[in-house]
């Protein structure tokens, strides 16, 4: 989906850190260092459950 309201006139308007992150992501894809969508969503659910339990006083605290 292309957002027509975003206009970049030159490279100075682009955050260089963002470009580096995008480059690393593309390198990960090219080298096969990625998760399937299903695996990624399962990991998100696992981490959310750990954080939810930590906030309620149950279980270990991870990335709280």
pTM (two decimals):
0.47
Report the alpha-carbon distance of residue 24 to residue 16 in Å, rounded: 12
Q: Which tokens hold the place of 60?
A: 């270990």
Cα dihedral 33, 37, 38, 40, rounded to 10, equals 60
pLDDT for res 9: 74
Better-scored residue on pLDDT, 4 or 35: 35
How do residues 18-64 score in pLDDT, each as one tens digit?
889 999 999 999 999 999 999 999 999 999 999 999 988 876 555 65
């Amino acid at each position: 989906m292309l957002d027509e309201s975003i206009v970049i006139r030159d490279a100075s308007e682009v955050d260089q850190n963002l470009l580096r992150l995008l480059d690393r992501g593309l390198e990960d894809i090219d080298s096969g260092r990625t998760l399937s969508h299903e695996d990624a969503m399962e990991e998100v659910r696992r981490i959310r459950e750990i954080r939810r339990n930590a906030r309620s006083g149950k279980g270990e605290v991870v990335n709280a």
